[in-house]
Chains A and B, each alone.
Chain A
């Protein structure tokens, strides 16, 4: 008896500690009970954003729950999910009075495209999904993004803001937006290196595109290409993949 009492005590202690540990880890009971059900999910804002790897996107992702008639459904349950490494704050919740649900998205630590899914339940407990895509820039693409902001966007981005007026409309030969995958994906890395380094005439294109080979380093040009490849729409498949497809 005297010998077994420490053992019993130890077992008891383990049980107590274990249960305490479990109590800490156990998820609090979900208070999210949908008060309404929608039929469709639409994106309000926040898709196709560009952020750094692991960073929280600049704008939150906002989705709206609609019913069959396209009217907003307040109180519907919306849940976000995504690949490993992607975090949502909050992950799930009820749509607000205008039928919208807002979540801040933290991208994963690996550069690339991230597909995130928002989902809601219909009256018949059927899941409705909305897929959105976000892009995470790695170091190289981040450098390219910064260089783009300084040297390229003024002409290559047709969008004007009060702070940065676009020069696109002033150019006789229109430059291609960097997201224009239909055009840029057909060009090899060597093509892009040539046109960045030696200007448009290097590829028999307009001289309105000046040479940057004496202003930017080779690493800079490579960074720009990495960035352009990452943000292109439709996505760039890479030379290897193209070969396989052919």
Chain B
């Protein structure tokens, strides 16, 4: 064994001259290592490949001139970016490479940002400083930030942009879901501007739950909320039978009665609905479906999602409570999004009878609960505390827990080394978050996080929203953040303000930045409409936009309430942009009216979306204008025609860049549209 080694040693170094030669050769080789490594590096290979790719093209000379050999780097100290990606991705900025699909030479798709200002890793993640394919894109021993899959790319936009963007529907949806499904009730998410994300769901208080429903229903609901209502946002806590039994026992025992809920209707009111179609049409006329959904025979959930689904509501609520609720929902829940409809006793009886009929006999068929023992009730309280029920619901006797679940403020930058993955799961942060959302209990049966019922697209949207919560989003230079508009806490004052709260106007309408988006923005309503029309509309809302299925319901307001509201709206909701008396309501010259008519039908073709003459016009995207002369203010029409978006930024009607003369003629024509008024006068 030792002899051949010795022989080799002797051959190489036995003779001093030969030894000198061998050592020199070794030295030369070692000196050549660095340049050789450089020469055979991956990026040089790609740059050579790029050169041969562009050689045959028509614009080869231009492309070649753009190509700078060697390692390229985008250095942005403000963002902490050192990106060498452009060393291999050499064609990113070449518009003429649109047909090249081979990576790394593909042109970058058009985006609103410049590569030199933001670099690559801000959006794509990965290791910007790396110069090999493996280290730049994947998590290796030295690095753990792999490339963000295209599936979640919108997360990167969300690091700087806190407001909703047109181009990021997935991110927008994810953020909405985080708030709507109450994720942020348990998990704190701090925003860079110092605020925290707020939940937008409205989980009911459980302090008076025994007035509303039975223990059996609570049990069935806790066991499987989606069995009661497929669109329920309440997650499934996978409770065992005894646990559900004990929590339901606790909630009933803990509930205190409210006097209004037990008051029954006067005997004069009919007990049962005399005619089911009358009740159904009252449900329709009151536009209950604008907020409440019902699952139809085909399994589709049809209706709005502001209020709870009513498919099986008859199996849930007690008749006395339902009647009290329909009479005045604010007596049970002062903050509810449901308007106070001012139904009369007969209507309450009709509607409650109709809703009681929406029952599912199977739901509670197998629920048999014995009388609860004090031990069960005490155990129920312990469970309700442990599962964090009070993080979402108000429960008397249990405080809302603080920091109940892990904070998610920087979840998008969580190091992989701090995560515990399941067997067989890809070791990446997006996969971890996505699995946590889909199957939280698969990470351990003892975990408290409940099972939500998200569709795959919703899960992806949530993952995207969570991935946007990175270290970078917290540490961005102020100049680069695009904050969301501050949530408005606008509150109308005085008696009218109380009335608007009672009618829950803000559930559908936005005023001064606060409110829902189902109905028109009323911020400048006082400048827009005429007083008499508003009074008549509040008394009996008629159809303005035939294409909409969600409409303003009739609240059965008294005359004094209508006056109160009208006075307030006409006085307070005035735009400073123009004077509402700057245009006359009538008395336009016939020639100008005729010119307006020509413009309406020919030049601007307004009939594509609006109806002025019921016989000839058919367009129904915009409001019907047959009576617009008695509905809208003339100065409003004129200014609206000049620039709709200046008055309501979200308006669909395009800005026609109309001349003053045209706008005046059209206003004259529109102000003459008072058909029904004339007919009524004739009668």
A binds B: yes
Closest residue of chain B to A109, judged by CB?
A: B150
Residues of A at the B interface (CB closer than 8 Å) are 52-56, 58, 85, 104, 106, 108-111, 138-140, 142-143, 146-147, 150-151, 154-155, 162-165, 167, 169-171, 206-215, 219, 222, 226
Query: Is B403 an interface position by the 8 A CB rule?
Result: no
Interface hit among B103-111, B242-250, B355-363, B507-515: B103-111
- Residue in B153, B456, B656 whose CB lies within 8 Å of A56: B456
The 4 residue pairs across chains A and B that have the minimum distance between CB atoms: A54-B150, A109-B150, A170-B618, A54-B151
Query: Is B259 an interface position by the 8 A CB rule?
Result: no
Q: Complex formed: what's the CA distance from A4 to B652 in Å? A: 82
Whether B109 contacts A171 by the Cβ 8 Å rule is no
Over the window 214-242 of chain B, the binary record of Cβ atoms lying under 8 Å from chain A Cβ atoms (1 yes, 0 no) is 00000000000000000000000000000
Over the window 134-163 of chain B, the binary record of Cβ atoms lying under 8 Å from chain A Cβ atoms (1 yes, 0 no) is 000000000000000111111000000000
Whether A143 contacts B167 by the Cβ 8 Å rule is yes
Whether A170 contacts B619 by the Cβ 8 Å rule is yes
Q: Which chain A positions have C-beta within 8 A of B657? A: 211, 213-214
Whether B608 contacts A155 by the Cβ 8 Å rule is yes
Whether A110 contacts B101 by the Cβ 8 Å rule is yes
- Nearest Cβ on chain B to A55's Cβ, whole angstroms: 6
Q: A163-B549, A167-B620 are in contact. Are A53 and B150 (CB under 8 A)?
A: yes
Whether B109 contacts A210 by the Cβ 8 Å rule is no
Whether A139 contacts B111 by the Cβ 8 Å rule is yes
Q: Complex formed: what's the CA distance from A212 to B645 in Å? A: 12
Chain B residues bordering chain A, tally (CB within 8 A): 40
Q: Complex formed: what's the CA distance from A219 to B109 in Å? A: 14
Whether A162 contacts B619 by the Cβ 8 Å rule is no
Whether A55 contacts B109 by the Cβ 8 Å rule is no
- Nearest Cβ on chain B to A57's Cβ, whole angstroms: 9
Query: Is B344 an interface position by the 8 A CB rule?
Result: no
Query: Is B654 an interface position by the 8 A CB rule?
Result: yes
Q: Which chain B positions have C-beta within 8 A of A52? A: 154, 169-170
Q: Complex formed: what's the CA distance from A226 to B170 in Å? A: 20
Q: Complex formed: what's the CA distance from A208 to B603 in Å? A: 9
Closest residue of chain A to B172, judged by CB?
A: A146
Over the window 609-630 of chain B, the binary record of Cβ atoms lying under 8 Å from chain A Cβ atoms (1 yes, 0 no) is 1000000001111000000000
Whether A138 contacts B621 by the Cβ 8 Å rule is no
Query: Is B29 an interface position by the 8 A CB rule?
Result: no
- Nearest Cβ on chain B to A141's Cβ, whole angstroms: 9
Whether A55 contacts B655 by the Cβ 8 Å rule is no
Closest residue of chain A to B101, judged by CB?
A: A110
Q: Which chain B positions have C-beta within 8 A of A219? A: 112
Q: Complex formed: what's the CA distance from A217 to B458 in Å? A: 31
Whether A167 contacts B170 by the Cβ 8 Å rule is no
- Residue in A108, A110, A140, A162 whose CB lies within 8 Å of B110: A140
- Residue in B110, B608, B620, B654 whose CB lies within 8 Å of A139: B110
Q: Which chain B positions have C-beta within 8 A of A211? A: 654, 656-657
Closest residue of chain A to B456, judged by CB?
A: A56
Q: Which chain A positions have C-beta within 8 A of B167? A: 139-140, 142-143, 146
Closest residue of chain A to B548, judged by CB?
A: A165
Query: Is B525 an interface position by the 8 A CB rule?
Result: no
In the assembled complex, 16 residue pairs joining A and B whose CB atoms fall closer than 8 Å, in A order, are A54-B151, A55-B150, A110-B106, A110-B150, A142-B169, A155-B621, A167-B547, A167-B609, A167-B619, A170-B618, A206-B605, A207-B604, A213-B657, A214-B654, A215-B645, A219-B112
Q: Which chain A positions have C-beta within 8 A of B277? A: none
Closest residue of chain B to A147, judged by CB?
A: B166
Query: Is B460 an interface position by the 8 A CB rule?
Result: yes
Q: Which chain B positions have C-beta within 8 A of A106? A: 151
Q: Complex formed: what's the CA distance from A208 to B618 in Å? A: 12
Query: Is B302 an interface position by the 8 A CB rule?
Result: yes
- Residue in B112, B149, B168, B609 whose CB lies within 8 Å of A109: B149
Query: Is B536 an interface position by the 8 A CB rule?
Result: no
Q: Which chain A positions have C-beta within 8 A of B106? A: 110
Q: Complex formed: what's the CA distance from A28 to B101 in Å? A: 34
- Nearest Cβ on chain A to B467's Cβ, whole angstroms: 13
Q: Which chain B positions have C-beta within 8 A of A146? A: 166-167, 169
Q: Which chain B positions have C-beta within 8 A of A142? A: 167-169
Query: Is B297 an interface position by the 8 A CB rule?
Result: no
- Nearest Cβ on chain B to A121's Cβ, whole angstroms: 29
- Nearest Cβ on chain A to B655's Cβ, whole angstroms: 4
Residues 647-680 of B contacting A (Cβ, < 8 Å)? 652, 654-657
Query: Is B446 an interface position by the 8 A CB rule?
Result: no
Q: Complex formed: what's the CA distance from A108 to B151 in Å? A: 8
12 additional contacts (CB under 8 A) given A150-B652, A212-B654: A56-B460, A104-B456, A138-B109, A138-B110, A139-B110, A143-B167, A146-B169, A170-B608, A170-B618, A207-B603, A208-B605, A208-B608
Whether B656 contacts A55 by the Cβ 8 Å rule is no
Query: Is B602 an interface position by the 8 A CB rule?
Result: yes
Query: Is B71 an interface position by the 8 A CB rule?
Result: no
Q: A150-B652, A215-B654 are in contact. Are A54 and B149 (CB under 8 A)?
A: yes
Q: Complex formed: what's the CA distance from A138 to B166 in Å? A: 13
- Nearest Cβ on chain A to B291's Cβ, whole angstroms: 14
Query: Is B67 an interface position by the 8 A CB rule?
Result: no
Q: Which chain B positions have C-beta within 8 A of A226? A: 110
Instruction: Indicate the member of B153, B167, B460, B618 with the most A CB atoms within 10 Å.
Output: B167
Whether B655 contacts A215 by the Cβ 8 Å rule is yes
Whether A207 contacts B605 by the Cβ 8 Å rule is yes
Q: A142-B167, A210-B604 are in contact. Are A167 and B621 (CB under 8 A)?
A: yes
Query: Is B60 an interface position by the 8 A CB rule?
Result: no
Whether B656 contacts A214 by the Cβ 8 Å rule is yes
Whether B656 contacts A162 by the Cβ 8 Å rule is no
Q: A54-B153, A214-B656 are in contact. Are A167 and B110 (CB under 8 A)?
A: no
Query: Is B457 an interface position by the 8 A CB rule?
Result: yes
- Residue in A58, A104, A163, A171 whose CB lies within 8 Å of B608: A171
Whether B608 contacts A162 by the Cβ 8 Å rule is no
- Nearest Cβ on chain B to A77's Cβ, whole angstroms: 24
Whether B109 contacts A170 by the Cβ 8 Å rule is no
Q: Which chain A positions have C-beta within 8 A of B111? A: 139-140
Q: Which chain B positions have C-beta within 8 A of A171? A: 608, 618-619
- Nearest Cβ on chain A to B604's Cβ, whole angstroms: 7
Q: Which chain A positions have C-beta within 8 A of B620? A: 165, 167, 170
- Nearest Cβ on chain B to A31's Cβ, whole angstroms: 16
Q: A139-B111, A215-B645, A219-B112 are in contact. Are A210 and B619 (CB under 8 A)?
A: no
Closest residue of chain A to B549, judged by CB?
A: A162
Q: Which chain B positions have C-beta within 8 A of A165? A: 547, 620
- Nearest Cβ on chain B to A173's Cβ, whole angstroms: 9
Closest residue of chain A to B109, judged by CB?
A: A138
Q: Complex formed: what's the CA distance from A212 to B604 in Å? A: 12
Q: Complex formed: what's the CA distance from A52 to B657 in Å? A: 34
- Nearest Cβ on chain B to A104's Cβ, whole angstroms: 6
Closest residue of chain A to B154, judged by CB?
A: A52
Q: Complex formed: what's the CA distance from A55 to B549 in Å? A: 31
Whether A58 contacts B169 by the Cβ 8 Å rule is no
Q: Complex formed: what's the CA distance from A162 to B548 in Å? A: 9
Q: A139-B167, A140-B110, A142-B167 are in contact. Are A58 and B457 (CB under 8 A)?
A: yes
Q: Complex formed: what's the CA distance from A207 to B457 in Å? A: 39
Residues 381-405 of B contacting A (Cβ, < 8 Å)? none
Whether A214 contacts B605 by the Cβ 8 Å rule is no
Q: Complex formed: what's the CA distance from A58 to B607 in Å? A: 36
Instruction: Indicate the member of A104, A155, A215, A226 with the most B CB atoms within 10 Å.
Output: A215
Instruction: Indicate the member of B456, B460, B652 with the most A CB atoms within 10 Å.
Output: B456
Q: Complex formed: what's the CA distance from A109 to B149 in Å? A: 8
Q: Which chain B positions have C-beta within 8 A of A111? A: 109
Whether B603 contacts A55 by the Cβ 8 Å rule is no
Q: Which chain B positions have C-beta within 8 A of A206? A: 605
Q: Complex formed: what's the CA distance from A55 to B609 in Å? A: 35
- Nearest Cβ on chain B to A106's Cβ, whole angstroms: 7
Q: Which chain A positions have C-beta within 8 A of B603? A: 207
- Nearest Cβ on chain B to A229's Cβ, whole angstroms: 12
Q: Which chain B positions have C-beta within 8 A of A213? A: 657
- Nearest Cβ on chain B to A70's Cβ, whole angstroms: 26
